[in-house]
């Protein structure tokens, strides 16, 4: 898929982008352009990878000119850049809109102008019935990516809708490990809170599968395991704590909910199920109407909401923790 090609990755210092870089390098690309505004992280990443095929570009997706220049002669664009911390987006909504909405439109315009062959948008399960600024802006971004297919016949735009990336920067896992080591307790919001989890390695592999399957305009949702957050706390205490480590229950934040969805009931009417994915077809009209790569004979999706999802057991959670490198 990537052999001898030029690939652009936005938000290139994050958990997703590092894993994309790692896996794409194995497929002998011509060049990977890593576009972000974090100078110090770029320096660290350049040292960590030490590969001449990587080209680091300082820039901001809010700057249309910068992203258009970065997209010149690019064949595949992978968009991971976003403001993703819920509290920051809630406290500074204009910043969330500027990056997660206007920034996405800038990426779309740059891909169309430069006739990039394929653009992949990294989305989140929190777009289903959004309740906070982060999820609302990401939901709008999904809509913009779908509509982009109406603006060009050359570039194929798709989204990958992921659950929680286990252990990613800013996620609950490193925070809890630090709490255990420094204060010997974990603060948990809600005993029955459930989330879908996936390792970043599996998330990137799923993205590659989606890129191969896609015609254009679909939202690909990898099948993921569902766990109680309280069970995750217990597993981390087993690994990093001791007999005196406490699990303290605290009230959830106003924008937190007990469960997430992979696909809403409304979307499920236009969603098919494969062995690896739930695939949501666009509600709006796009140029591709027959979807030859994924036949309509596939069964309509079932079990896509948190209400239907079976909560995995502790052993499977321990396996996930090990697989994620903890």
Q: Which are the catalytic amino acids?
A: 126
Q: How far apart are CA 182 and CA 230, in angstroms?
A: 20
pTM of the model: 0.91
> Which tens digit of pLDDT belongs to each residue from 36-84?
998 999 999 999 999 999 999 999 999 999 999 999 999 999 999 999 9
> Which tens digit of pLDDT belongs to each residue from 235-294?
999 999 999 999 998 888 777 888 888 888 888 878 888 889 999 998 876 766 666 666
CB 137 within 8 A of CB 100: yes
Q: How far apart are CA 174 and CA 263, in angstroms?
A: 28
140-160 in b/e form (b: 16+ CB < 10 A) is bbbbbbbbbbeebeebbbbbb
Domain ranges of the chain: 6-228+257-323
All residues at 6 or more sequence positions from 295 whose CB lies less than 8 Å from its CB, including other chains = none
Report the top-level CATH class of 6-228+257-323: alpha beta
């Amino acid at each position: 898929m990537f052999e001898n090609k030029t690939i652009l990755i936005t938000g290139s210092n994050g958990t997703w982008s590092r894993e994309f870089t790692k896996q794409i390098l194995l497929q002998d690309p011509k060049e990977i352009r890593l576009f972000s505004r974090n100078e110090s992280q770029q320096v660290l990443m350049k040292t960590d990878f030490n590969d001449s095929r990587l080209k680091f570009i300082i820039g901001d997706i809010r700057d249309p000119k910068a992203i258009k220049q970065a997209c010149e002669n690019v064949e595949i664009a992978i968009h991971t850049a976003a403001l993703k911390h819920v509290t920051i987006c809630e406290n500074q909504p204009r910043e969330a809109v500027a990056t997660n909405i206007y920034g996405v439109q800038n990426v779309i315009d740059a891909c169309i102008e430069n006739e990039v062959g394929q653009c992949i948008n990294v989305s989140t399960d929190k777009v289903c019935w959004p309740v906070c600024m982060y999820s609302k802006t990401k939901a709008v971004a999904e809509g913009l990516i779908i509509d982009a297919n109406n603006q060009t016949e050359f570039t194929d735009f798709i989204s990958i809708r992921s659950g929680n990336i286990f252990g990613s920067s800013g996620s609950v896992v490193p925070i809890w490990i630090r709490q255990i080591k420094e204060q010997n307790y974990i603060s948990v919001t809600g005993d029955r809170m459930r989330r879908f989890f996936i390792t970043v390695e599996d998330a990137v592999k799923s993205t590659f599968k989606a890129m191969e399957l896609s015609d254009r305009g679909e939202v690909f949702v990898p099948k993921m395991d569902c766990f109680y957050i309280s069970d995750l706390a217990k597993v981390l205490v087993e690994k990093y704590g001791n007999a005196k480590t406490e699990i303290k229950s605290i009230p959830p934040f106003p924008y937190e909910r007990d469960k997430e969805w992979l696909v809403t009931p409304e979307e499920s009417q236009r969603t098919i199920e494969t062995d690896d994915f739930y695939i949501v077809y666009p509600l709006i009209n796009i140029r591709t109407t027959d979807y030859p790569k994924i036949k309509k004979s596939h069964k309509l999706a079932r079990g896509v909401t948190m209400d239907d999802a079976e909560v995995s057991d502790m052993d499977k959670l321990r396996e996930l923790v090990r697989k994620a490198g903890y």
